[in-house]
Copies of this chain bind each other. A is one copy, B any other.
Amino acid sequence: MAPTTPRETDAPALGLRELADALEGTPAERGLRERKKRSRRLALIDAAQELVAEHGLDAVTVEMISAQAGVSPRTFFNYFESKDDAVLGAEDAGLPDDVVGTFVDGGPTGRLLSDVQVLVAALLATADEGHDRVRRAVDLVQQEPRLLQRHMAWLDRHQKRLGEIFEARRAAHPFSTDTELLNLLVLMLLRTSLAAWERAGCTGRAADHLPSAVSQLLDLAAGDVAP
Which residues of A are in contact with B by a Cβ distance under 8 Å? Answer: 110-114, 145-146, 148-153, 156, 175-178, 180-181, 184-185, 187-188, 191-192, 195-196, 213, 216-225, 227
Closest to A213 in B: B181
Closest 8 CB pairs of A and B: A221-B221, A113-B224, A184-B188, A152-B152, A149-B149, A111-B224, A181-B192, A180-B195
What is the bound-complex CA distance between A145 and B159, given in angstroms?
10
Tell me whether B219 and A195 are in contact (CB under 8 A). no
Identify A224's interface contact among B196, B218, B223, CB under 8 A: B218
Most buried by B among A150, A156, A192, A213: A192
Q: A149-B150, A181-B213, A184-B191 are in contact. Are A222 and B221 (CB under 8 A)?
A: yes
Tell me whether B178 and A196 are in contact (CB under 8 A). yes
Tell me whether B181 and A227 are in contact (CB under 8 A). no
Identify A191's interface contact among B110, B180, B192, B221, CB under 8 A: B180
Contacts of A146 in B (CB 8 A): 153
Closest to A145 in B: B156
Contacts of A188 in B (CB 8 A): 181, 184-185, 188
Closest to A196 in B: B178
Tell me whether B113 and A223 are in contact (CB under 8 A). yes
Tell me whether B178 and A221 are in contact (CB under 8 A). no
Identify A220's interface contact among B113, B152, B180, B224, CB under 8 A: B113
Please list 28 pairs of residues, one from A and one from B, whose beta carbons are closer than 8 Å in the complex, sorted by A's number.
A111-B223, A112-B224, A113-B220, A113-B224, A145-B156, A146-B153, A149-B149, A149-B152, A149-B156, A151-B152, A152-B152, A175-B223, A176-B216, A176-B219, A178-B195, A178-B216, A180-B191, A180-B192, A180-B195, A181-B188, A181-B213, A181-B217, A184-B191, A188-B188, A218-B225, A220-B221, A221-B221, A221-B222
Identify A148's interface contact among B114, B156, B192, B219, CB under 8 A: B156
